[in-house]
Structure 1
Amino acid sequence: MNSEAGGMDPVFKALADPTRRLLLDRLREQNGQTLRELCERLDMARQSATQHLDVLVGAGLVTVVRRGRERLHYLNPAPLHEIEERWISEFDRPRLQALGAIKSQAEEYAMTGDSTTVPTYVYVTYIRATAEQVWHALTDADLTARFWGHANISDWQPGSSWEHRRSDGSGVVDGVGRVLLAEPPTRLAITFEDPSGTGSPGEASVVTFLIEPHHDIVRLTVTHENLPDEDALSSISQGWPAVVANLKSLLETGDVLPQVPWEMSGTHA
């Protein structure tokens, strides 16, 4: 068997169980739930839910983020994104996007009640690199310009400002913010704000990079919180996988992807 194909076996095995698909549906409806919240919504014993969640976590479909004593469960779109890119995108993306847009619009018309809660976005990937290499790539202006199309410029000290400046020579700044937390080489948290300064500080979204080393690889978790609306969530849900894929390629091969990945989705984080 092809090793690449075999690597997807845990994902398909996890998705084959209706209870695990139901858990994913509940997280899609309300991301970032505790085990207790999931059990309440599914009327499921804690032990059973834990076993199913362990399978989903092992397949990379769910990731756990610790907040104090709580363990919050988030959908991780990376494995499904890989499935989509491998088996769908090259064949029928335009038609499926059109059908998806029709379905989404129909669901919006059918909704009752207004919900203003925008879920937190979490993306996890594994990179063959050291934690120091990943940290350097995220904080070095020249490297971010290569894989992100923007130079991220700051001294990366807590409280310092940072800029997300285009690397096309125009000098245009598409994003600004503050460094909230910097713990090299494992954790970086920044605000992401509109450079026009029209929003208040409390409205800034927050991006956290968690870099966890394990032997010859690291697990990189990107968490994007305090999003203004569903449009922003939709945009970054396409932008982050593209940016992180380019970062992964750069660190593992020494070069970025041969084409700009966010041009496939039409978004740019």
Structure 2
Amino acid sequence: MQAFTCLTVSVQPELDKVFKALADPTRRYLLDQLHEDNGLTLNELCRRVDMTRQSATQHLAVLEAANLVSTVRRGREKLHYLNPVPLHEMQERWVGKFERPRLHALSAVKRRAEENMSEKPSFVYVTYIESTPEKVWEALTDADITALYWGHRNESDWQEGSSWAHVRADGSGIADIKGEVVESKPPKRLVTSWYDPNGPEDQVPSRAAFDIQLYQGVVRLTVTHTDLADAKAHRDVSGGWAAVLSNLKSLLETGKPLSLEMSKAR
């Protein structure tokens, strides 16, 4: 599966926030720390930059507003992740044709850092959609809608403890993924386990969490995919989610999906 750039809601205002965030050397240093070791807590970042929690929190808030940092809660702690999408957009707009190898190097470093995590989430993806939480929830759970942008029908009653299946939309009835609905809180949060019905019997299911939040009048959708089997699974998931979520964003904002072949996207 190919990875596709996630488009922002409004290019110019978002880039203004990125430039503002990057103008401060302390914030650049925070990004450097996340580049080296993704998924740090606030306390860990404070120790690395030698500053108070209040000061670090203020800098991180600016980085989050620019979408350069995304966060995921693990129990009572909040983990911070470098989000390269805005940097990718800047690179594509101005220097992409000259410096593309550097972006690939950054992506590879980020991937290796995430693969080396132990109990931290294996993959986090954030996108912003001009829609409502209710419509985003419906797009994730309605079988007919998922067929439009995913090439598969997500079939379930979406009650906690129920089974769900990712069934090909070609009428064959073949399910490429099955699992259980672990958590269902419409229209805010959905967590599902994933396993390959044709895979080994001793496989450990992965888990995908969808967090839907209002953010400055639009929807911030965060997908966290954990417990991936190996580096190949991480590569597949990384490219797959980028394509699927870009297609979902296009469908909700324009009424039609992108011109992408999604029949094999997971």
Question: What are the within-5 Å matches in structure 2 for residues 148-227 of structure 1?
Answer: 148-198=150-200, 200=202, 203-213=204-214, 216-227=217-228
1:5 to 12, 18, 22: 12
Q: TM-score, normalised by structure 2?
A: 0.80
Structure-2 residue corresponding to 1:268: 265
**What CA distance in whole angstroms lies between the structure 2 residues aligned with 1:170 and 1:262?**
16
Q: Which runs of 5+ in 2 are unaligned?
A: 1-9
Which one scores higher on RCO, CA 8 angstroms, separation ≥ 6? 2
Residues of 1 paired with 2:261 and 2:36: CA distance?
28
Aligned 8 A contact 1:142 1:151 in 2: yes
Q: Which amino acid aligns with 1:9?
A: D
* Aligned residue identity for 1:268: A
CA distance in 2, matches of 1:149, 1:183: 25
Measured in 2, the distance between the counterparts of 1:30 and 1:184 equals 33
Contact 1:32 1:120 in 2 (8 A): no
- Within 1, Cα distance between the matches of 2:147 and 2:225? 21
1:29 counterpart residue number: 36
Percent identity, aligned pairs only, is 55
Q: Does the Cα contact within 8 Å between 2:160 and 2:181 map onto a contact in 1?
A: yes
1:247 aligns with 2:248: yes
Q: Which amino acid aligns with 1:26?
A: Q
Distance 1:215 1:26, change over 3 A: closer
Report the CA distance between 1:236 and its aligned residue.
2.0
Deviation at 1:14, TM superposition (A): 2.1
Note closer, same or farther for the CA distance 1:83–1:227 as it changes in structure 2 (3 Å cut).
farther
Amino acid at match of 2:183: L
Q: Which amino acid aligns with 2:131?
A: A
Alpha carbons 2:35, 2:82 under 8 Å: kept:
yes
Structure 2 vs 1, CA of residues 218 and 116 (structure 1 numbering), >3 Å: closer, same or farther? closer
Structure 1, unmatched stretches of 5+, are 109-113
Q: Report whether the alignment pairs 1:73 with 2:70.
A: no
RMSD of aligned C-alpha atoms?
A: 3.2
Conserved in 2, the CA contact under 8 Å of 1:243 and 1:261? no
In the superposition, relative to structure 1, how do residues 194 and 69 fare at CA in structure 2: closer, same or farther (>3 Å)?
same
Q: Which residue of 1 aligns with 2:135?
A: 133
1:96 aligned residue: 101
Q: Does the 8 Å contact 1:209/1:220 carry over to 2? A: yes
Cα deviation 1:212-250 (Å, max 9, x = unaligned): 135742221111112222332233222212211111111
Seen in structure 2, the aligned counterparts of structure 1 residues 211 and 84 have a Cα distance that, compared at 3 Å, is same
Instruction: Give the AA of the match of 1:165.
Output: V
TM-score (structure 1 length as normaliser): 0.79
Structure 1 partner of 2:66: 59
Displacement of 1:121 after TM fit?
1.6
Residues 166, 15 of structure 1: alpha-carbon distance in 2 compared, 3 angstrom cutoff: farther
Secondary structure at the residue paired with 2:257? coil
